Structure 1
């Protein structure tokens, strides 16, 4: 089953920080961008508590608190897909957390977009980067989710920058992208 991620730069909310979430069954890695939306850095790992049924638990409360604390203008939740674009078993988890965060923000009168960003290979890249920097596998488990969230968010930020540059170049030539 093909699963489609959102497109960076489409309906862009403009300047400001973005948060990236790497949703797992046990933990949610969180990363934040700078105010210029150029560089992603790790924030924290939130223990996963909320399941598919029942109320939002403290993990959702913490994600909402981080969105407010960082004054995020956009949230990117990693969408786990294989190299062919098919959804992995974890897609339901990512979509559930995205839905709950979006619902809480909307309920609070906030119009912060919650997007699904492509996360193919992010955990692999994050694991290789930690290993290359000398972090042991055991110590790496504590930060791997944050590192994966950084990869998800940085991929989104790079895609956004490219899309906005393409749009600007097109506007300058008198053509409009479509």
Structure 2
């Protein structure tokens, strides 16, 4: 069984999956969502949960730098609760402060163009969230 990592934004969700042993995280895709229409991409996420036989989901939890909970963190809490209810699967919130910025810096240092960075930044952030969780579990 694998663990899925999600970087939930207002327009997209970056998705990463662990290997079967739970050692490494690989980015698999970015799912488009529409928060205003309450379309959270659950259809596609459900397909991925089934396809990869996911046993747990880790959702990035974007706390403020002072450790307080802002609107994005509240949205992640709501998303996690809905996902857990929809698929009867354990969902963990994982502190993701600065992961998107770290992913951006990594892509810049790899000389990835701005256009291409936009396509993969959420997926890369999901990898960093999941890998942080996997490393913590070891």
| Separation of aligned partners in 2, 1:72 and 1:88 | 29
The structure where strand makes up a greater share of residues is 2
C-alpha change, 1:50 and 1:25, in structure 2 (3 Å) is: closer
Determine the C-alpha separation between the residues in 2 that align with 1:157 and 1:72: 14
Runs (4+) off by over 4 Å: none
* SS of residue matched to 1:115: strand
Matches within 5 A, 1:3-22: 16-22=1-7
Pick the structure with greater CA Rg. Answer: 1
Q: 1:155-166 counterparts in 2 under 5 A? A: 155-161=132-138
Q: How far apart are the structure 1 equivalents of 2:69 and 2:113?
A: 30
The 8 Å contact of residues 23 and 134 in structure 2, kept in 1 or not, is answered as yes
Counterpart of 2:93 in structure 1 is 116
Unaligned runs of 5+ in 2: none
In angstroms, what is the RMSD of aligned CA positions? 1.6
**1:169 alignment counterpart:** none
Q: Number of residue pairs matched?
A: 138
Match of 1:42 among 27, 40, 46: 27
Match of 1:128 among 89, 96, 105: 105
Q: Where in structure 1 are there 5+ consecutive unaligned residues?
A: 1-15, 107-111, 162-178
Q: Note the alpha carbon deviations across 1:104-150, whole angstroms, 9 max, x for none.
A: 113xxxxx211101101100110011111111122101110000000
Q: Does 1:33 align with 2:33?
A: no
* Distance in 2 (alpha carbons) for counterparts of 1:71 and 1:47: 22
1:77 to 51, 59, 68: 59
Contact 1:79 1:119 (8 Å CA) reproduced: yes
Give the corresponding residue for 1:9. none
Higher helix share: 2
